[in-house]
Structure 1
Amino acid sequence: MKKIYSNYLANFRGLSHEIWLLALVTFVNRAGAMVIPFLSLYLINVEGFDLPHVGWIMSCFGLGSLVGTYFGGRLTDSIGFYKVILFSLFFGGIGFVLLQFIDTFIGFCIGIFLLTSITDSGRPAIFVAADTYSLPGNITRSITLIRLAINLGFSVGPLIGGLIIAHIGYTSLFWIDGFTCILASFGVMALLKPKKQKDKNEVKTNIIKEGVPPYLNKLFILFFIIMVANSLAFVQYFSVMPIYYEKVHLLSEDLIGWLLFINGATIVIFEMPLIGWLDRKKVSKTMATFWGIFFLGLSFLVLNLTSWSGVLVIAMFLMTLGEMIGFPFSNALALEMAPKGRKGSYMGLYSMSFSFAHLIGHNGGMNMVDTFGYFDTWNFFAIFLLIVASVTIWLYFLLKKSVSGNI
């Protein structure tokens, strides 16, 4: 056990001081964004919207994510990551505070769109900052630390948020979310020194672009469709599922927070050792993506097997297992499929699969539940993901014919 612990800690030794500060700021920001997991419940229980209206509001969340990520990347290239991170944190914090004063459907659509556009503009900037502040050879581990900070924030945030709702009320969430984001922006100004990002133009002059753009690569487009389909089901856990926990299993907000905590805490503790073990076993990246989709589908299927509330924990573990296996390897697969000189455009399209899922998935899930009920909706997603997993196996054989390596 001591050896396992030592090996786990060894993954984070040698990282720069700035990377640890970035991880801390990311953790504070993500933990502070505790409104998001409870947003659908707030819109129903406090604002009185029905499921279709909540679905459209969550679509605006996805559209804001898409717009924010796109323009955040462009702003990062033009004015630098430091200013974009500050802008995202400070004005995102103000946006969280102001959101509580909106009480109309159109107002929430516009408010959520603007808020997500601002907050998600910082996502590309954080990873560019990680590249800039990383010591030679440390970029992968630096990004892994930031990913762990994100997941730890997403696990602690809902837990604290659920307790706050249960004992104080929803309104306090908006104030706490807002002030933690603003606090994080002041932390960046006080602790993180601006640094010029690595000169991309100089590098570009020496890069010869090979292959074709991602939208002309038929196999990559098939992979993109698989990732959009997988993410459409995955996002249900952060909008429709909390409503299911409350309305069907009668869980309070603090218990819902504990359930969501299981996801992030499990990832923080087990993802690095699990991925390291699978990597040493030379597991195919495509087949690992398949297993991620398979376990996610199984998590929906088990929900309909019993009315016992303990099944919610089992489903959460299955979903988390699928996430831990599927997402890191699908990310690596996207990089491996990208030809020399085109990794940026390929990874950009890969990242957009999640934004498209937010745009479509929340709305689709809300309307399906409103029309067909939870039982049929969970069965649909289980069957849907079984089909997606089958297509992933087909992609595996297509890739095996066209390329070499452990793809």
Structure 2
Amino acid sequence: MITLFNKYINTFKGLSKEIWWLALITLINRAGTMVIPFLSLYLREDLHFTVSNVGWVMSAFGLGSVAGSWLGGKLTDKMGYYKVMVGSLFATGILFIALQFLHSFAAICVGIFIVMLVADSFRPAMFVALNAYSKPENKIRSLTLIRLAINLGFSAGPAIGGLIITGLSYSGLFWVDGITCIIATLVLIKVLHPKKAKISDSHSVENPISAYGDKTFLLFLVAMALFGIVFLQYFSTITIYYKDIHALSESQIGLILGLNGFLIFIFEMPLIKWLENTRFTKLGLMAFGACLTGLSLLILNFTSWSGVLIIGMILMTIGEMIAFPFSNAFAVSRASKGNQGEYMALYSMSFSIAHIFGHNAGLQMTASFGFDNTWYIVSGIAATCALILYGLNRKLNTP
């Protein structure tokens, strides 16, 4: 047992101090994102929106995310990652607190768009900062540490969020989310100010390659958008499925969602370190992760037993643990040849585009065709994603 623990600790060795601070800031920020998994339930239960209206609100969420990722990339290349990260975090905190005071369908759509525009400008800046502070040989593990922080926050967030809803109300979630963003801003200013950083907040490349001309990267982004559509069902459609089909309470839903983050916290870093030393390629591993994620939804059609929800969550978690770190690493490796902000903005935008279509499509399909048919369709999307990644893998690794 002690040997296993020591091996686990050793997987974290060699990462820079700045990466650990970035992870802590991300943990503080993501611990307050408990609003997101419960957003569809909040709109339906508290504001009494129809499922169709909830779908359109989630599309506004995705549009704001796309615009924010693009804007964040542009601002990062012009202003540097530090200013973008500070401005985004602080403003997001204020906006999340204000969002609870909007109640009409139109106001919620506009409010969600603005919140995500500001919030997701953080992501390209964070990726560039991570790339700057990480040693080349530690890139994947640095990315994995940030994901661990994100998922530890997500693990605690939904579980605490379910308890807050049960004991107080949905409005408490907005206060917690906003306050944690502001706290994360203060920590960022304190520990990662450019004057204290050993690495300059400027990472230009001579004669940079435009991400828009990198056809391999653009096809990779199509696959990531498809993967995002599948993955995001766990942040909108699945919560309604848990409640309507399996009659779970908000606290039970929070615990199942929290299982995802807990498993990632325990197993992802050792898994990634092991996979790095195998013969498998990044794209091949991503394709396998996409298959597992699609299977996690497909098996929901095989039985009415509620235990299948946990099995599905475990399969999705394994797929996510494999797909995301290696997709991040693949994007960073391509970005090293060009405008880093532009590359990482497009990478972030692929998931933002998934937000536009994924939530809405899932909710509209369940309203029109039922959950069973929706899971069949979404599993087909996962298979398409895997085929694209497999094709790219053969193209890049065939002599």
Do they fold alike, i.e. is TM over 0.5? Answer: yes
1:31-180 counterparts in 2 under 5 A?
Answer: 31-134=31-134, 140-180=140-180
1:278 and 2:275 matched = yes
Q: Which residue of 2 aligns with 1:24?
A: 24
Q: CA deviation at 1:131?
A: 4.3
Contact 1:166 1:252 in 2 (8 A): no
Identify if the C-alpha distance between structure 1 residues 334 and 146 changes in structure 2 by more than 3 Å, giving closer, same or farther. Answer: closer
Contact 2:72 2:121 in 1 (8 A): yes
Q: Which residue of 1 aligns with 2:293?
A: 296
Using the alignment, how far apart are the partners of 1:239 and 1:38 within structure 2?
8
Using the alignment, how far apart are the partners of 2:27 and 2:201 within structure 1?
28
Identify if the C-alpha distance between structure 1 residues 13 and 285 changes in structure 2 by more than 3 Å, giving closer, same or farther. Answer: closer
Identify if the C-alpha distance between structure 1 residues 287 and 127 changes in structure 2 by more than 3 Å, giving closer, same or farther. Answer: closer
Contact 2:301 2:372 in 1 (8 A): yes
Using the alignment, how far apart are the partners of 2:168 and 2:242 within structure 1?
20
Q: CA deviation at 1:240?
A: 0.9
C-alpha offsets along residues 318-364 of structure 1, whole Å, 9 cap, x if unaligned? Answer: 11111111222233344556784466654443332111101111111
1:249-398 counterparts in 2 under 5 A?
Answer: 249-335=246-332, 340-341=337-338, 345-398=342-395
Contact 1:52 1:366 in 2 (8 A): yes
Using the alignment, how far apart are the partners of 1:147 and 1:31 within structure 2?
13
Using the alignment, how far apart are the partners of 2:392 and 2:189 within structure 1?
46
Identify if the C-alpha distance between structure 1 residues 336 and 129 changes in structure 2 by more than 3 Å, giving closer, same or farther. Answer: closer
Q: CA deviation at 1:32?
A: 0.9
Using the alignment, how far apart are the partners of 1:379 and 1:138 within structure 2?
38
Identify if the C-alpha distance between structure 1 residues 111 and 223 changes in structure 2 by more than 3 Å, giving closer, same or farther. Answer: same
User: Which letter maps to 1:79?
Assistant: M
Tell me the TM-score normalized by structure 1. 0.89
C-alpha offsets along residues 260-282 of structure 1, whole Å, 9 cap, x if unaligned? Answer: 11111111111111122222221
C-alpha offsets along residues 26-55 of structure 1, whole Å, 9 cap, x if unaligned? Answer: 111101121111000000001011111111
1:399 and 2:399 matched = no
Deviating more after overlay: 260-269 vs 337-346 = 337-346
Runs of 5+ consecutive residues of structure 1 not aligned to the other structure? none
Using the alignment, how far apart are the partners of 1:200 and 1:184 within structure 2?
22
Tell me the TM-score normalized by structure 2. 0.91
Using the alignment, how far apart are the partners of 1:79 and 1:219 within structure 2?
28
Using the alignment, how far apart are the partners of 2:275 and 2:138 within structure 1?
21
User: Which letter maps to 1:37?
Assistant: P
Q: CA deviation at 1:192?
A: 4.0
> Greater relative contact order (Cα 8 A, min sep 6): structure 1 or 2?
2
Using the alignment, how far apart are the partners of 2:208 and 2:97 within structure 1?
46
User: Which letter maps to 2:6?
Assistant: S
Q: CA deviation at 1:394?
A: 3.4
Q: CA deviation at 1:301?
A: 1.0
Using the alignment, how far apart are the partners of 1:122 and 1:214 within structure 2?
19
Other structure's SS at 2:303 match: coil
Q: Which residue of 1 aligns with 2:205?
A: 204
Using the alignment, how far apart are the partners of 1:183 and 1:222 within structure 2?
38
Contact 1:59 1:363 in 2 (8 A): yes
C-alpha offsets along residues 184-215 of structure 1, whole Å, 9 cap, x if unaligned? Answer: 223333444333762646x523xx557xx554
Other structure's SS at 1:267 match: helix
Identify if the C-alpha distance between structure 1 residues 298 and 10 changes in structure 2 by more than 3 Å, giving closer, same or farther. Answer: same
User: Which letter maps to 1:163?
Assistant: L
Q: CA deviation at 1:380?
A: 1.3
Contact 2:59 2:357 in 1 (8 A): yes
RMSD across aligned positions (CA): 2.5
Identify if the C-alpha distance between structure 1 residues 97 and 331 changes in structure 2 by more than 3 Å, giving closer, same or farther. Answer: closer
Contact 1:31 1:156 in 2 (8 A): yes
Q: CA deviation at 1:391?
A: 3.9
**What is the identity percentage for the equivalent residue pairs of Structure 1 and Structure 2?**
51
Runs of 5+ consecutive residues of structure 2 not aligned to the other structure? none
Contact 1:68 1:118 in 2 (8 A): yes
